Structure 1
Amino acid sequence: MIRTEDIYDAAIDDAAFGRLALTLADALGARSGVLHWGRTPQHIAEISYSGYFSEAQMALYDEEFQGDDLWGIALERAETVNRVWNVEALVPAPTYEASRIYNEWIRGMGDDTFHCLGGVIQKDGTTGHIGLHRGRAQQPFSEAELRAVQDSIDHIGRMFAIRSKLDRARHYGRSLHATLDMVGHAVFTLRPNGALIDCNHLADLLLRRGDALSLRQRQLKALDPRDDEALQTAFRAAAARQGGQASAIFVHRDQGLPYVLSIAALRVGMERQIVVIATDPADRDMSLASRIRALYGLTKAEADVAEALCRGQGLEELSQERGVALNTVRTQIKNIYVKLDCSRQSELVARIGALPRLGIFDETE
């Protein structure tokens, strides 16, 4: 009666999710249906609705009658979670018939919706709702129809959870791109073999410029053969390292100063990736603090503290110079250790010391 494949198609297909409420309603012989999910019981991230009521009628419900929805209130009780109910078992027909929502909203628009199968579904931190409806002149939902929906509840819950995870992933991706675009450097993320995973807006512009770097079969390459040999050697060295050590090379172009590429390998979950920060010394901040900030994701304050530690400054001196409490400096140093995958100052100094100073391009020189 209810096809499992229709439910799982809706997990990754937005159009299929939009049709799912109507698909379920048709399978049950219901007049209308609604499905929605969110990350909290009060939140609605997505809704699939059969379209029986108009948008204006649903807007009126949201504005004036949601608090009077006896069916919805009854289904929110904790003991009803992950179970489908013939809602007349929770709200007797005479009670519903005398309610404001029935007399002023349902009957007020010339409708007679009177029977409902509904439930609240919770799965992997996602809360969903299902409702299927029939009119007063239609037959009430049978026990067999209730069991058919109940048998599908686990599948619907998993579908909600998958859509929630995909939604978070999309949001994370948008946030990550927005963050990388604010860095002020071209940023590439690569697989250990040098294949491109992603890049930010400035990196895309650098590739389009075509004056020093290019993509060949998704591999990041330098146009100058000698530079490319150094670049591929740096990739192999970064991929072979166990920590977050970084190196830097120059990549020449026909006109202007060479680009400076800072290269490090980082672990993302179980996967090892190479991060390449490409900077144009003609119009970008080439200071050591700027490069380690972009390469390791440090805040400006953390990058300044890391650079000061490499110069041999102590905690008290840093506290006085920066006008902050000692505990603030200690917290910043702890954050720096986490981001650079080290546990003591000597490791920090060695790691940053592996980044070659860039001579005339480095503001600290």
Structure 2
Amino acid sequence: MALALDEMDYGVVLLDESFQVLHANHQARVALCPGMVLTLDGTALRVGTAADQRVLEEALLAAVRRGIRRLICLGDGEQRMRVSVVPLPVGGGWRSPAVMLAVERTQACAHLTVQGFARLCRLSPGEEQVLQALCLAQDPAEIARQHGVALSTVRTQITNIRTKTGTDSIRDLVHHMSMLPPLIGALRQQATRASSPQGGTN
């Protein structure tokens, strides 16, 4: 099951009834790193403020004691994080009542998923870069500055992307990307092979 959870493109944390961490998938370990509003500290979850602690504890207690699902918001501004708190009742494969936390994604689509979609739709390398940027919520002017090209070039690339993908607007395109199945695990496997001493040989 751990390998299956690692294929998901958002963070998942499983807790027992005493709110100790049973498992956190790869995306959760990345998202809940030190400095974030919600962090993993061994088998415990930590939050930055007393107010956020109350919000989290109330949601966890409601899940375990009353089977209530909640969407909570922790922190504010750039540190804001939305988390789904979902009860996993007895009989679902757990020895005792447990809770699942699902952490919001930080981008519309994972990098490798965009790559796969770009190949599927026969996008050019430049169009793929623009698509990656759009999935990071960058606007055309920002993309043009970042890549050192004219705004008209980026707009032409966006038009080409929309034509090849059959989408009507940037908003429609990004929504479409957010619905794609993830390719998270393959990306990590490639990165691991590339960084290993044997990564460049076959």
User: What TM-score do you get using the length of structure 2 for normalisation?
Assistant: 0.47
Q: Which has the higher contact order (CA 8 A, sep 6+)?
A: 2
User: What TM-score do you get using the length of structure 1 for normalisation?
Assistant: 0.27
